[in-house]
Amino acid sequence: MLSVGLFAALSAGGDALRSAWRAGLAESWQVHGCDFASGLVFVDGRCQRAADVVSPPELLDASAAGFAFGVATSAYQVEGGVREGGRGPSIWDTFSHTPGRIPSGDTGDVACDHFHRFEEDFALLAALGVSTYRMSIAWPRVMPDGRAINREGLRFYHALFDRLLELGIEPLVTLYHWDLPQALEDEGGWRNKSMIVPAFSRYAAAMFTEFGPKVKVWTTFNEPATFVFIASDLGIHAPGRCSHREICAEGDSLREPLLIAHSVLVAHAHAVAALREQSGAGGTCERCRVGMVNCIKLAAPMNASRDADWQAAQWRMESELGIWTDPLYFGDYPRSVVLASGDLLPPFSAEERSLLKGSADYFGLNLYTAQFAAARFSRPNAADMGVMATSSAELNGEEGDLIAQWRETTGAAAGPREPVGEPGPTGWLFAAPGALRTTLNWVAQRYGQRTEVIVTEAGWAGMRESSELPLRIALDDQDRIAFLFEYVRAAVQARVVDGVNVSGFVIWSLLDNFEWNNGFGQRFGLVRVQYDDGLRRLPKASFSWLQRLISNATAQHTGARALLRRTAQRADQSTSAQARTLRASTAMLGALALGTTVAAAALSVRRAARRRAVAMGVADGVGVAEWSDGDEQLARGLLPMCDGTDDPLERMRHSGAD
Ligand code: PNW
Any ligand 1 atom below 6 A from CB of 501:
no
CATH number, residue 393: 3.20.20.80
357 contacts: CB under 8 Å, gap ≥ 6: 327, 328, 329, 330, 331
Asked whether residue 387 is assigned to any structural domain, the reply reads yes
Asked whether residue 626 is assigned to any structural domain, the reply reads no
Q: Which atom of ligand 1 is nearest to the CA of 368?
A: 17
Flag the least confident range among 194-198, 428-432, 528-532, 579-583.
579-583
Give tens-digit pLDDT for 224-254. Answer: 999 999 999 999 999 999 999 999 999 999 9
Tell me which residue has its CA closest to atom 9 in ligand 1.
515
Asked whether residue 622 is assigned to any structural domain, the reply reads no
Q: Which atom of ligand 1 is nearest to the CA of 508?
A: 10
73 contacts: CB under 8 Å, gap ≥ 6: 114, 134, 135, 136, 509, 510, 511, 513
Q: Which atom of ligand 1 is nearest to the CA of 459?
A: 12
Quote the pLDDT of residue 118. Answer: 98
Quote the pLDDT of residue 568. Answer: 66
Element (DSSP H or E) covering residue 119: helix 114-128
Q: Which residues pair with 43 in a beta bridge?
A: 46
Give tens-digit pLDDT for 323-332. Answer: 999 999 999 9
**How far is ligand 1, taken at its centre, from the CA of residue 121, in Å?**
21
Give tens-digit pLDDT for 158-173. Answer: 999 999 999 999 999 9
For residue 515, report the phi and psi dihedrals to the nearest 5 degrees. -90, 60
Quote the pLDDT of residue 566. Answer: 75
Give tens-digit pLDDT for 72-82. Answer: 999 999 999 99
Any ligand 1 atom below 6 A from CB of 297:
yes
Asked whether residue 155 is assigned to any structural domain, the reply reads yes
Quote the pLDDT of residue 629. Answer: 29
Any ligand 1 atom below 6 A from CB of 210:
no
Any ligand 1 atom below 6 A from CB of 543:
no
Give tens-digit pLDDT for 192-222. Answer: 999 999 999 999 999 999 999 999 999 999 9
Strands 536-539 and 527-530: antiparallel
More confident residue, 487 or 404: 487
Any ligand 1 atom below 6 A from CB of 465:
no
**How far is ligand 1, taken at its centre, from the CA of residue 72, in Å?**
12
Asked whether residue 421 is assigned to any structural domain, the reply reads yes
Q: What is the DSSP letter of 381?
A: B
Element (DSSP H or E) covering residue 400: helix 400-410
% of the chain exceeding 70 in pLDDT: 75
Look up the domain containing 524 and give its range: 2-554+642-654
pTM attached to this predicted model: 0.84
Q: Average of pLDDT values for 248-277? A: 97
The residues annotated with a catalytic role in the active site are 223, 457
Q: Which atom of ligand 1 is nearest to the CA of 516?
A: 9
When the pLDDT of each residue in the chain is averaged and rounded to a whole number, the result is 82
| Domain tally, the chain | 1
Asked whether residue 594 is assigned to any structural domain, the reply reads no
Residue by residue, DSSP assigns 212-255 as TTT--EEEEEE-HHIIIIIHHTS--STT---S-TTT-SS--TTT
Asked whether residue 566 is assigned to any structural domain, the reply reads no
**How far is ligand 1, taken at its centre, from the CA of residue 501, in Å?**
23
Check if the beta carbon of residue 8 is closer than 8 Å to that of residue 413: no
**How far is ligand 1, taken at its centre, from the CA of residue 403, in Å?**
26
- Ligand 1, residues 226, 233, 517: which to mutate, most atoms within 8 A of Cβ? 226
Question: What separation in angstroms does the CA of 297 have from each of 15, 213, 275, 389, 428?
Answer: 19, 36, 30, 11, 10
Q: What is the DSSP letter of 392?
A: G
Give tens-digit pLDDT for 66-105. Answer: 999 999 999 999 999 999 999 999 999 999 999 999 999 9
Any ligand 1 atom below 6 A from CB of 75:
no
Check if the beta carbon of residue 453 is closer than 8 Å to that of residue 427: no
Check if the beta carbon of residue 183 is closer than 8 Å to that of residue 94: no
Banded model confidence at residue 316, pLDDT cuts 50, 70, 90: confident
**How far is ligand 1, taken at its centre, from the CA of residue 159, in Å?**
27
d(CA 82, CA 351): 38
- Ligand 1, residues 366, 455, 480: which to mutate, most atoms within 8 A of Cβ? 366
Helix 648-657, helix 541-573: angle, nearest 10: 70
Q: What is the DSSP letter of 238?
A: T
d(CA 633, CA 627): 7
Quote the pLDDT of residue 417. Answer: 45
Check if the beta carbon of residue 512 is closer than 8 Å to that of residue 528: yes
Any ligand 1 atom below 6 A from CB of 524:
yes
Helix 151-166, helix 114-128: angle, nearest 10: 20
Would the pLDDT of 499 be above 60?
yes
**How far is ligand 1, taken at its centre, from the CA of residue 518, in Å?**
11
